[in-house]
Structures are given as C-alpha cells and as structure tokens.
A and B are shown apart, each in its own frame.
Chain A
C-alpha cells in the first residue's frame, strides 16, 4: 500500500512542469489579491468564529444553571456551530493566531502523546476547581482549555452534564467563556484600525508583520499548502494507517463528536474561497494568462469536497472499513495533486514559492 501511494505521488509530481515564472505579477496585483482575500475571507470568517464562540459561551452558561435534555441538545448544536466556524478559520495559520501560545490555545491537536486526555483524566479525578474559573483556567495547559477539551466534556459521558451543579458542566462553561474571550480578541486583532488586516493590505509599505506585498501574498499561499498538508497527512493519512488493520479511529480529529469529515470539508471550503472570491487566486491567475491552472485547481477543489461530502458514513467508520479504503486512497491522491498543483505550479506562476527554509526560525 505504501509503495502504491509513492508511485502515484511520483506520477503526480512529474505531471507538472517546473517552468520558472518571470515577474508576471505586478505590485498592485499582489496588493489587490491580499486585499480581496483579507476582506472577503479572513475578516468575515474570524468575525463568524467570534460570534459563534460568544453564542457557545452564553448557551453553556444557561444550560449549566438549569440543565435539561433540551438544553443539552442546544449545547451540542452550538458546539458544532462553533467548530464549524473554527474549522473555517483554522487555515489562517499566520498573524494573530500565532501570538503566544499559538493556535493550540484554540485547538491542541494532533495530540500524539495523549497529553490532553491524560491531563483531563487527572482534572476529573481531582475535580480541580481552578479549571472552573476563567482567570485561573487561562493559566493552565492549553490542552485543558481548548476546543478538544470542550468536546470531551460535552460528548463523553454526556449524562453527567445533566446532574445539577456538575463539575464537568462548570468546567465546560469556563472553557466556553475563555474561548469566547480568545475568539473576540483574535477578531479584534485582525479588524481593529491598524490591525493585522491593515498590515496585510498595506504590506507594500513594509509593516511590522510583512516586509512587502509579496510576503503578504505568500502568507496565503503558505496557508493553502500547509492546510492541505495537514488535511492529507494528519486528518486523513495518519488515522487510516497503511492498512485497514492499522487504522486508528482515535487519531481522527474529532471522533468523539463524529465531525472529522466535516472539519476537512470546512477547511477546504476556506481554501476554495481563496480561489473563488472576486479578486482571489483564480482571477489573478486568469489575469496573468494562467487560466488552465485556475481551472485545474477549481476542478480539484470541487472534486475533493464533493467526494468528502458524498461519503454516506462518518469518517469514524470509514477509516477502518475495507470497502471504503480505495475511495479514501483516491481522496489522498487528489489532495496531494491539489497541494502539488498549488505548491509546484501556481506558486511558481505567481512568484510566490513557499520557502521550505524560510517558514520559521531555526
């Protein structure tokens, strides 16, 4: 199976030519691209995340004050709405979300060493009250205060949440409150006057965050490539294992709430918007006479999103299902083809090749 994936990889890579691009894109075109992506994707999606986090906080608080089965259904729905919003924001792995302690304060995943569950088990055992207070919770390990911890509290032993005055409910409410504060600050840091959105859009004048407009545009290319790699390797390939017998459902991102497929779809929808919005990557590619690349990317986005949504069973079932394996392998190949197209063709076309050695300090 491993050999098969490698062979397909080689084929995919060699189907794209490596022609280096001249300076096809003007400074003004980079600025327009960054402005379109920032105003039409980053800002509205971060705003939506902040709104959902606030709603989650309110609903969780109300539920814990008077827990009812109907209220619990609403809590579950709100959690999914919050995760929907987060998964659409997740591809923006640059700027304010990287401020200490980084994206893990929203979602500590993948947790390859099981740190989060180990810390949560200890917290449940100790009934640590400092986790139920926002001010003290904020100082704890990110694994104790992120959306993964909230998922565990809501979806594992859900009946406990219905017990009046339950520790778990108070703890979940504190996490929801903290997420509300963090999401609001994240949006504010993007949207305030001279905030991060302005730094992106004004990068041509050199800003504290970007040397120039090309680096700002490159941040979106890096987001495309790194998100596709995370989807492919972390969200899909790793849980699948090399064979069905090596599949591990618990390696899926949100197996407890059975929304791992939805997460991938929402990540991809954000990336698809980078191409589809007016003034986005597709428009720019067509302006510089690279319409075939725009068309190829659009077709691959359509295909992988359609195929993910067409699965009739949740990914939590599919990864260990022999009959689904070939479809999942095809999906991996399509995701790789899309990543390769962007990384090795479109980025070169636009003069925005992501620097392997230039991504962060070392």
Chain B
C-alpha cells in the first residue's frame, strides 16, 4: 500500500482521536438529571422502530426502520444516534434524537454487511462499524466520516471472524472489538458455518495506527464460547458470551478483561445451568460496580460484582434482553417482551408496557 495513503489514513484517524471531548458534552436539552431517556429497537406488528422513551412510558421519538434493528450508539454530544441493522443487515440510520428523523441512511459496501454495532470516536467526527467481508469471511472495522454523510474512509481487519459489539476505551484511541468467531454468509443467512473451528477473541484496535494492539482469547478448550457483547467501565471490560456447544454442558458466560488479561468467571454449576448458555446483553450500572447480564433463553437477568465477578443475584423476566444503566447507581433499565423494567440484584418492577410491542436485543441510555 502506498505510503501517502497510510499517512492520509493515519492523519484522518488521529484527527478523530485527538479532538478533546469537552466541546461535545451532551447537550443540556437532552441531559437533565430527571430527564433520563433510553433508546432501543422494537417490533410492533410487522414494523420495526427505534424508540426513545423514558421510564414513565412516554415515547420521545419513534423512528421507523427498514427491517429489524440491533445496536444503537449515541453520539458524544447526545444529539444523534446511529442505529445499525441486525446482522446480516446492510443499512444503518443516523437519526436526530430531538425529532427522531433519519438524517442519513448508510448502506454497506458491495460484498459486505454490517454486524449490528458501531461506536463513535470521542469527538463524534468518525464512526467505527463492525462488518463482514462476504467474499473472504474476514471481520472488518470500517471508519466513516460523520461530517460527509458517513462516507467510508477506510477499513481494517479485526483479526477474527464475526466481529460484533465494539466500544471506544477511555483513552480515546483504542477500540475493543468482540470477534464472535462465528462465520456466516449472506446466502446462508444466520446459519453458523464453522462451529468446530471457531476462534473468538477480544481485539484491542488502535485507531491512530489502524493496527491491532493485542488480541486476547479464552483457552482453546473454550473456543465455542462466542465473545459477542461488552460493557466498558474505565479500563475494565465485561464480556457477555454465548456457548455454541452442546446444550447439556453448562458453561460460564461472563468474562472480565482488566486491561491485561481475559478471565472467564467461575460460575456455580446451578447458575450456569439456569443461564442456558446464552447471554444477550451486558451493562455496567452508573457506578461501574455492578454488572447486569441478560439471558433471554432463560428469562433471567444476572447481576455480578464488576471487580470480582462474584454473582450478586438474579431476577426472572420473560424474554428479557436489552440492558442499560438505570437512573441511580445499582439500578438498570431492561427491556423484556413489551415491558420496560427497572431492576437491581434484589428484584425488578415494570415501569411501563408498550402494548403489542416486542423489544429487541439491546438498549442504550441517552442521558
């Protein structure tokens, strides 16, 4: 590759990484303390929406989606969000959080599709998206310019197959990428094609160089534990896993990365059995001390001490999946079927029900 291009690429990336966050604090209109809002995708009849709501059940915005949506990432200024199609979708919508209007529709490049998640650079000038190169099956992270209709500037390998959720770390230049390890192709939909050989990893990608800094894997004997979702607090990453092996072998589903090493959290056998080998979403609370991990196949929410991985409690809720920090430390807002729940490790209560709706996998706190 030409040196000029490398310089250009690096310049673009460094520009995105270096601008301070102070100019992009959440706008006052969306950040009032008693005005907390969340946004998630939901199905109503045959139509899908990205819906911004508060815990009184008030809908603030309701953006129709072309098909099932997945992850939603909010821009650092709190004014816009990017909604990414469920894999193997090819669209993403950039929406105004005041009006709910779609500002830009992004399409994946030919022979590529999105993997459902994205994250902004600290200054909001760039967006990073996990993608699949459908010809090679290689995972990619693409870099797009938010000021130029999300034009793709470049893309880089993620060092694995099936990258899913990604998050910018507090240093503003490292992106953690969960390489789920599962190969799929558009022509065969969501069917996993490589369960015997899958090799998931946590990749730390440097956006100033476009290179992978380090990769972390679970032991080879646990190669069917797909690393798919994450929550970041300071330099710690909590990872939610999905076991693709036999159902009758219970497996731990929480892993913690402390900045140095990746650790699968020992889980009591009875709890592992209850979780049914499948975690759907994961979130820290506002304090960063507690983690909630949802297990929709088990209709279960599990709570863990963020530092130690000690299980703190569980609560049952039908088809619960979306999880985000709640209004107060120790609390989480969750989505389960048509309901919005507030939960802690001592239990949960329903805040609101969105009649005839089915909330989708993820939930994002806006302010």
**Using a CB–CB distance below 8 Å, which chain A residues touch chain B?**
6, 9-10, 13, 98, 100-105, 108, 113, 115, 141-143, 206-211, 215, 233, 353, 355-358, 360-362
A357 near B361 (CB under 8 angstroms)? yes
| Given A208-B246, A208-B247, A362-B228; A357-B319 close (CB under 8 Å) | yes
With a cutoff of 8 Å between Cβ atoms, the chain B residues found around residue A113 in the complex are: 186
Pairwise interchain contact B45-A355, C-beta atoms closer than 8 A: no
Cross-interface CB contact of A353 among B190, B194, B297, B319, cutoff 8 Å: B319
* Cross-chain contact of B187 among A108, A208, A215, A361 (Cβ < 8 A): A108
Question: Which residues of chain A have C-beta atoms less than 8 A from B186's C-beta?
Answer: 113, 115
Q: How large is the interface on B (under 10, 10 to 19, 20 to 34, 35 or more residues)?
A: 35 or more
**Min CB–CB distance B86 → chain A (angstroms):** 7
Question: Count the A-B residue pairs with Cβ separation under 8 angstroms: how many?
Answer: 98
Chain B residues touching A, majority SS:
loop
User: What are 13 residue pairs bridging A and B, where the CB atoms are less than 8 Å apart in the complex?
Assistant: A9-B45, A102-B191, A105-B188, A115-B186, A142-B187, A208-B248, A211-B248, A355-B318, A357-B296, A357-B320, A358-B319, A361-B190, A361-B244
Interface majority SS (helix, strand, loop, mixed), chain A: loop
CB-defined contacts of B242 to chain A, threshold 8 Å: 361
Cross-chain contact A211 with B188 (CB below 8 angstroms): no
Q: Which of A9, A101, A357 contacts B185 (CB 8 A)?
A: A101
Closest 4 CB pairs of A and B: A102-B191, A208-B246, A357-B321, A357-B296
Chain B interface (Cβ < 8 Å from any Cβ of A): 43, 45-46, 70, 86-87, 116, 164, 180, 182, 185-195, 226, 228, 242, 244, 246-248, 276, 278, 280, 296-297, 299, 318-321, 337, 356, 358-361
A104 is contacted by which of B164, B187, B226 (Cβ under 8 Å)? B187
Q: Which residue of A lies closest to B335 (CB)?
A: A357
Please report the C-alpha to C-alpha distance between residue A358 and residue B358 in the assembled complex, in whole angstroms.
12
Measured between C-beta atoms, what is the minimum distance from B158 to chain A in Å?
17
Nearest-neighbor residue (CB-CB) of A100 within chain B: B193
B45 lies within 8 A of A362 (CB)? no
Distance in Å: Cβ of B199 to nearest Cβ of chain A: 16
A362 and B70 contacting across the interface, CB-CB below 8 Å: yes
A residues within 8 A CB of B164?
A: 362
The minimal Cβ–Cβ distance linking B285 to chain A, given in whole angstroms, is: 21
Q: How far is the CA of A108 from the CA of B194 in the complex (A)?
A: 19
Cross-chain contact B187 with A356 (CB below 8 angstroms): no
Quote the shortest CB–CB distance from B87 to chain A (angstroms).
7
Q: Which residues of A contact B188 (CB under 8 A)?
A: 100-102, 104-105, 142
Q: A100-B192, A101-B188, A206-B247 are in contact. Are A361 and B70 (CB under 8 A)?
A: no
